Amino acid sequence: MSRATATAQAHPNIAFIKYWGNRDDRLRLPVNGSVSMNLGALTTTTKVTFDGSLRQDSLTINGAAEAAVARVSSVLDEVRRIARIGARARVESVADFPLGVGVASSAAAFSALALAASTAAGLSLSEGEVSRLARLGSGSACRSVPGGFCEWRMGTGDADSIAVSIADADRWDLVDLIAILSTTHKKVGSSAGHPGAATSPYQAARIAGAPGRIEGCREAIRTRDFARLAAISEEDSTLMHCVMMTQRPPLFYWEPASLAIMKAVPEWRLEGLRVFFTLDAGPTVHVLCSGEDANEAERRLRAVPGVNDLLRSGVGGPARIVAAKF
């Protein structure tokens, strides 16, 4: 191989049932399954070029060179192993949304990387195989490979711990209103936080209840039962943050505005709006709502003190190849 290039696009996702804690940190095998929704209005575009003249892998994010390429190289190494090639790669990634603030930027980045790299290497992997490959770089990235509403099945090992679509993007007109409270990159990212999950006295209870919440979430999506999805998602989000705040060392991601939104959303629901909140690892609050309530929910959310910006997205499709040259 002298030079081969492929470019892929992928969306971040927002989890209704969260991923927090691994049973195998190296392979990123989770302690429980999870369920999410792809965010179609937010996109990461990643170009991978395998070039026989390169001496090492390189990475640029939004035009800036990154020195920390170990996680990217771990995915590329697996691609090289499967494809039986030795060429190093140049990876160029661009995101159209803020990074490191709880909008699953790593999920979009590694799902796009997995698809672009495998394609550039001449592989024709199944969706499940690409999902597995993405998981090696970032656990939640496996959920951004399929489209629509996705379930990450924890599986029995490396091969079957993958995400599958449980409903297409057009199954339900849900809108995610993403309240950006800070654009400062969080000090402790998800990968660094996962190992501490087991030290929380509440992690075992969270894990024990996860299968029931997953089944309830799956059924709520199938039947478009908003009230059920809202109750399950808010409970699961709060449980995860309870674990975060009680693990050693503790992680406190909430800002005052995070809590203000979490208190306001149930009040809005009592007033008739179909809304609920969920937070990933960061202060950013995702307010999910029905399409017909989105404008009013957005108006109210923008009025909350501390909300610096707001992103809006419907349900997104799968990761996809947009260009390739061999």
The number of domains in the chain is 2
pLDDT tens per residue, the chain (326 residues)?
579 999 999 999 999 999 999 999 999 999 999 999 999 999 999 999 999 999 999 999 999 999 889 999 999 999 999 999 999 999 999 999 888 767 888 999 999 999 999 999 999 999 999 999 999 999 999 999 999 999 999 999 999 999 999 999 999 999 999 999 987 777 788 888 999 999 999 999 999 999 999 999 999 999 999 999 999 999 999 999 999 999 999 999 999 999 999 999 999 999 999 999 999 999 999 999 999 999 999 999 999 999 999 999 999 999 999 999 98
> Can you list the positions of beta strands (E) in 22-154?
22-24, 29-30, 34-38, 44-51, 58-61, 64-66, 88-95, 149-152
CB 5 within 8 A of CB 49: yes
Amino acid letter, 130 = V
For residue 186 the two structure tokens come to 């969080």
Is residue 320, in this structure, part of any structural domain at all?
Answer: no
273/290 Cα distance (integer angstroms): 8
Of the three residues 131, 152, 170, the one that is the final residue of a domain is 170
Identify the pLDDT of residue 185: 74
> Can you list the positions of beta strands (E) in the chain?
3-10, 13-17, 22-24, 29-30, 34-38, 44-51, 58-61, 64-66, 88-95, 149-152, 163-167, 174-180, 275-278, 285-290, 309-313, 320-325
Same domain assignment for residues 141 and 178: no
Same domain assignment for residues 306 and 166: no
**Which residues make Cβ contacts (< 8 Å) with residue 269, sequence separation at least 6?**
230, 275, 276
Is residue 322, in this structure, part of any structural domain at all?
Answer: no
Same domain assignment for residues 13 and 54: yes
Same domain assignment for residues 158 and 184: no
Amino acid letter, 22 = N
Structural domain including 166 reads 3-170
Q: What CATH number is given to the structural domain containing 106?
A: 3.30.230.10
Same domain assignment for residues 206 and 109: no
